[in-house]
Amino acid sequence: MLNKPFNDIRLDDIYALKTNAIEEGKSIDYKLELHLNNGRERKEFAADITSFANTSGGDLIIGVSEDQGIITELQGIEVEDKDKFILKIESLVRDTVAPQITGLDMNFYQMGDENKYILHIRIPQSYVGPHVVNGEKFYGRNNAGKYPLDFVEIKQRFTLSNQVQEKIKYYHSERIMKIKAGEGYWELGGGASLLINIVPLQSFSESVYVSSLTPTRFKLNTLFGNDSYDHKIQFEGISGVFYHSYHHINRQGIIEFADKDILENMKSRMSYISAKPIINRILETIPSAFHNLKELGLHGPYVIFTSVLDVKNVQISYNEHSYTSTNLRQNDLIFPAIMITNSSDLSDYDRVLRELFSNAAGFTPNLSS
């Protein structure tokens, strides 16, 4: 794999692969052409993509000739419409691979000719696999290239995926207990609290360690204070803190929003909790978390956990025009985990928040309100 952030790679870096005689292998593959006109060609390309995703990720360089795995010439491929070509690739991968692979990066590096390019595709290691092509075969990679996985290797990859999921569930339970015990990353005070954890799957399957805590790298908007916050650095990471609300990035690259101001202010002002403004505030704020994760090179998928804690006997409404006649019997509202594969599309998360907050208030959800 090219040891460089994807967005920093230029055509000169591809030439350097040739100059330095970098041999293709487990994490990099060279191809002269890319044809996707028939089923066999599409299946072969999907096998290439999944082989990287099912192993440790890597770079696919298209438009170069090679001899014994070493680039001999950069020839480029002709592309009339780059956006249309990328959409074609994305559609193919979406239609032929299950479960879906997320986080593919693609770029064209223009050659001398106006319509000739080197196509570079970076495939991240997947943590929701293994991925299968057309429901038939699983592929992996070694130094000789891609190969069909055998039964034992397929089982190992499923086991790894399940282990990652169990670690994430345990982490979430631990964070709930910490907040309820008053042991968050920063002092929140007493009362009901809102807790959101955003966990990149990479954080539990790789050795992720966040070392550079320069405040200017991050947008640490809090649920209560928006972009009004103080940067605070500690042993466990960096936070934006505003009164009893914080946005924290820990050393594994996991985001935690914890807030006691929103719920407590509502309770004192209206004697009940109104869900709709809370949902709106969440959806306005968490894009800053995805900015931070991408800054750290953590491109997903992500798991979002949402919890409303210590709210027993509190009245809850969906909006400010109506509220339940009975108090909440549950002490804690633990929402189901939501997998986010595209951080610009939070529609599933939005739907779950609105549906379950409406249910908690005793109503059939009206998702258009």
Q: pLDDT for 309-329, tens place per residue?
A: 999 988 888 776 665 555 788
How distant is the alpha carbon of residue 239 from its chain centre? 20
Q: Same domain for 166 and 139?
A: no
Q: Same domain for 167 and 35?
A: no
180: in domain: yes
Q: Same domain for 333 and 356?
A: yes
87 close to 81: Cβ distance less than 8 angstroms:
no
Q: Same domain for 246 and 222?
A: yes
- CA–CA separation, 157 and 159 (whole Å): 5
pLDDT band at 213 (very low <50, low <70, confident <90, very high): confident
Judged against a pLDDT cut of 90, whether residue 26 lies above it is answered with yes
Residue 293, pLDDT score: 93
Beta-strand runs (E) in 175-287: 193-200, 230-234, 237-242, 245-250, 255-259, 273-274
What CATH number corresponds to the domain at position 101? 3.30.950.30
Domain boundary among 87, 116, 149: 149
Domain boundary among 121, 149, 177: 149
Q: By residue range, what is the domain housing residue 96?
A: 6-149
Residue 238, pLDDT score: 96
Taking alpha carbons only, the member of 209, 215, 256, 260 closest to residue 233 is: 215
- CA–CA separation, 48 and 56 (whole Å): 13
Judged against a pLDDT cut of 80, whether residue 277 lies above it is answered with yes
The more confidently predicted of residues 103 and 237 is 237
Residue 271, pLDDT score: 73
Residue 226, pLDDT score: 67
Average pLDDT over residues 295-305: 86
Note the pLDDT tens digit of each residue in 111-120. Answer: 887 789 999 9
Note the pLDDT tens digit of each residue in 144-198. Answer: 889 999 888 888 888 777 888 888 999 999 999 999 999 999 988 888 999 999 9
